[in-house]
Amino acid sequence: MGSDADVKPGTLLVAAPTLYDENFRRTVVFVIHHHEEGTLGVVLNRPSEIPVADVLPKWGEFSSEPRSLFVGGPVDQRTAICLATLHTGVDPESTEGIVGVDGPVGLIDLDGDPGELAARTRGLRFFAGYAGWGKQQLESEIDRGDWHVIPALPEDVIAASATDLWGRVLRRQGPPLAFLATHPGDVQLN
């Protein structure tokens, strides 16, 4: 399950099967920022029907498949965030327009040159909105059993929408977490 102490940029928050909040049911959240004042991340497995090109015209052709915006979370859905997995050897700290998050994953400055920045990446994913937790809110939810804290792989950030990312991430943990991936998605407890 993990604890708040395990949360850091580049980790995943994987919703427990018993988390029925509509915003987070069976979600995988990639943590971008985590500090004592709060946590910010984006939901990796909620594609929308809106093409990236409709909202960010100069970036549309560079988006990983599917080329749609993903719903990053319930907070400030008018905000666009772009995460990238970088090519081997690209150092985000020395590359203008990229802010490192963890290892080969970085945030892309959407005011930068799309062609130049995209050439340094293996994939780009665009999000509308984000998930956010105030001071000690996430810690309380983890303690309650709502989230499992799991290390992310760079491929998680750009996983195809047809991928059952929630199940895949749980299965790769081995027992007992892997067994949660078999939990039916449409069962609710009253």
The token duo for 42 is 């984006």
Rounded CA separation 91/141 (Å): 34
Q: E strands along 87-146, which residues?
A: 98-102, 105-108, 121-134
Q: How many residues does the chain have?
A: 190
Query: What letter represents residue 64's amino acid?
Result: S
Q: What is the pLDDT of residues 100-133, one digit of tens each?
A: 999 999 999 999 999 999 999 999 999 999 999 9
**pLDDT by position in tens, the chain (length 190):** 565 679 999 999 999 999 999 999 999 999 999 998 999 999 999 999 999 999 999 999 999 999 999 999 999 989 999 999 999 999 998 999 999 999 999 999 999 999 999 999 999 999 999 999 998 999 999 999 999 999 999 999 999 877 799 999 999 998 888 888 887 765 444 4
Residue whose C-alpha is closest to residue 13's, from 25, 1, 30, 34: 30
Q: What is the pLDDT of residues 150-169, one digit of tens each?
A: 999 999 999 987 779 999 99
What are the angstrom distances between the C-alpha of 40 and each of 43, 81, 95, 154, 167?
A: 10, 12, 23, 18, 23
Q: Give the helix/strand (H/E) hosting 84.
A: strand 75-86
- Region of 71 please: left (phi>0), alpha (psi -120 to 50) or beta: beta
DSSP state, 92? Answer: G
